[in-house]
Chains A and B, each alone.
With several copies, the nearest count.
Chain A
Amino acid sequence: MLSIVFFAQTREIIGQGELTLPFESAFSDLEMLRAHLANTNDKWDLALTRDKLLVAVNQEMSPWDTEIKDGDEVAFFPPVTGG
């Protein structure tokens, strides 16, 4: 299983904060996973537009070509604005 989490605007547009997904080789890297999720519907497509979207694997910021594996936690979120 993959654990997927969303934060801030991304979470709000999608309308949920988390989901789990059986791992498939069809989305074995972050870009493939993003495209797969964006395909869900128009809202998900908007929320997961790659422009300015950030992604973390197992709580580490990662580039889009990062490979993922069963059991990973993947987070999608907009640029951070703390401090």
Chain B
Amino acid sequence: MISVQTADFDIATLYQQITARENNPLGYGAIITFVGKVRDFNLEQEVSALSLEHYPGMTEKTLANISQQAMERWPIATPIIIHRVGELAPGDQIVYIGVASAHRKAAFEACEFIIDFLKTKAPFWKKESNADGDNWLNERESDHQAADKWSQDTSE
């Protein structure tokens, strides 16, 4: 399940969905979730708001493609990927990824794969507002390294 939305998400509802029989027909018992939040209190610089822009259409296609790749690579149920757009405040939830598998290692890897690819392939852009004004965030080399490692990694 893929959703790009301005509304907040409820992790309890999503957890029910990831474990529900229609989504998880084999009753996979290892469930990994990742939630990314707007940093709540930054010691160096107070972030007062975050604005998330995206490319409607391409975003959903990219996330569906990442989800599909993960399902081809690991024995997992259909992942849930939720990403918020629009205006967000410190502490707000931004992104949710939920993965169920019979094998915890597969669930961990698939979940990390999805967020690593989302960070480098999905057309979202973050703009931070603080006392100094607005700043578009720069891409991070560490995110690219994280995504690249999945092409080199030949282990299951």
Per the CB under 8 Å rule, do A and B touch in the complex? yes
Contact among A9, A59, A79, A81 for B55, CB-based, below 8 A: A59
- Chain B min CB distance to A76 (Å): 11
Nearest CB to that of B60 among chain A residues? A59
Contact among B52, B61, B136, B138 for A82, CB-based, below 8 A: B52
Nearest CB to that of B134 among chain A residues? A12
Contact among B57, B61, B95 for A83, CB-based, below 8 A: B95
Chain A window 70-81, contacts with chain B (Cβ cutoff 8 Å), 1 for yes, 0 for no: 000001011111
The answer on a CB contact under 8 Å between B121 and A61 is yes
The answer on a CB contact under 8 Å between B55 and A82 is no
Q: How large is the interface on A (under 10, 10 to 19, 20 to 34, 35 or more residues)?
A: 10 to 19
- B118 interface residue per 8 A CB criterion: yes
The answer on a CB contact under 8 Å between A80 and B120 is yes
Q: A82 with B125: in contact, given A8-B136, A9-B136 (CB under 8 Å)?
A: yes
Q: How many A-B residue pairs have CB under 8 A?
A: 72
Residue among A8, A9, A60 with the most chain B CB within 10 A? A8
The answer on a CB contact under 8 Å between A77 and B136 is no
The answer on a CB contact under 8 Å between B57 and A80 is no
The 25 listed contacts between A and B (C-beta, < 8 Å) are A8-B53, A8-B136, A56-B55, A56-B58, A56-B123, A59-B57, A59-B58, A59-B61, A75-B123, A79-B138, A79-B139, A81-B138, A81-B139, A82-B52, A82-B54, A82-B94, A82-B118, A82-B119, A82-B123, A82-B125, A83-B95, A83-B115, A83-B118, A83-B119, A83-B143
Partner-B contacts on A (CB < 8 A): 5, 7-9, 56, 59-61, 75, 77-83
Q: Which 4 A-B pairs have the closest CB atoms?
A: A82-B124, A59-B58, A79-B139, A8-B125
Partner-A contacts on B (CB < 8 A): 36, 52-55, 57-58, 61, 83, 94-95, 115, 118-127, 136-140, 143
